Amino acid sequence: MKVVLLEGLGVSEQVIEQHARKLESMGHTFVAYPKNTDPLVQAEWSRDADVIMLANMPLAPVVLEEAKNLKFIDVAFTGVDHIPMAEAKQRGIAVSNASGYATQAVAELCVSFMIQLLRNVGKTEERCRNGGTKDGLVGCELQGKTVGSLYVMPGCAKRVAALCKAFGCSVLAYNRSTVSDPAIDEQVSLEELLKRSDIVSLHCPLTADTKGMIGKDQLALMKKSALLINTARGGVLDSAALADALEKGEIAGAACDVFETEPPLPTDHPLLHCPNTIVTPHIAFASVESMEQRADIVFNNLYSWLDGKQVNAV
């Protein structure tokens, strides 16, 4: 088999070389390329590949069209909305992901966003750097707040719920199926969750059903004192509607780590210029520990598939 890695995995060259040697000792060929988003370049590099490995770089449909021998796509990421899944399914190409690798990293950043917004960290830091004080910016504690989590699933959402419970929060959940999690106090409708929550945290995949699920009408249901956190997928949220709600003071603040497109963002993106907003360029999943765990998972996916036992199948 020829295995082609189309982008770096955020670990040392020594780790990649170790796996390359192992694959070669098993009789396979391993080739690693630097990240290149040009579909034609991707197609050329993948033309004779049996296996493609990549992280969150979009994989163009033309790559699958050109890779006639392709049998397995090994995704070092949780979401697969950047993969042409319909084409893969039609071709019978197996796809596995690295679900769970960044659970702790995402959850920690999510809770830190809550605390930073509640305590006005951004504003008070700016004051401090300019010789000012905290006057008029004394914030609130996370303890005692009601946190609403959308689409509670194994992984990040449950870990966030557990951390929030440790801080003394009440946790509401909205999910189409019944949630079984001791950290959840109550499962409610989406409308009730939005109305009751002090903090709404998004934890849902981007699908046809969830695309734009939080827009103008949903934001209007939230408390004026409420915060919105998005560490899920950018397309779940209507950025223009959120920016408008923030500008009008219809909600108190927001933190977004994900957007409709991968950063770098255009400088006129509406969420870059809103009050009481934290924006980060998709960093939630990226920690030293999570990158190491991701590499372990994605190579284990590969070895299991080569052994005829697909794991983490999408």
Q: Which residues are catalytic?
A: 233, 262, 282
Measured between alpha carbons, how far is 174 from 197 in angstroms, rounded to an integer? 11
Tell which residue, 140, 135, 145, 205, has the closest CA to residue 171: 145
Question: CB–CB of 37/58 below 8 Å?
Answer: yes
Measured between alpha carbons, how far is 214 from 114 in angstroms, rounded to an integer? 18
Measured between alpha carbons, how far is 46 from 6 in angstroms, rounded to an integer? 8
Helix extents (H) in 26-180: 39-46, 61-66, 85-91, 103-118, 121-129, 156-166
Paired tokens of 237: 């949220």
Beta strands 199-202 and 227-230, pairing class: parallel
Beta strands 94-96 and 146-150, pairing class: unpaired
What are the Cα distances from residue 169, in Å, to 97, 120, 164? 32, 19, 5
Measured between alpha carbons, how far is 49 from 23 in angstroms, rounded to an integer? 14
Tell which residue, 267, 265, 295, 269, has the closest CA to residue 281: 265
Please name every residue paired with 201 in a beta bridge, in sequence order, or none if there are none. 149, 229
The amino acid occupying position 253 is G
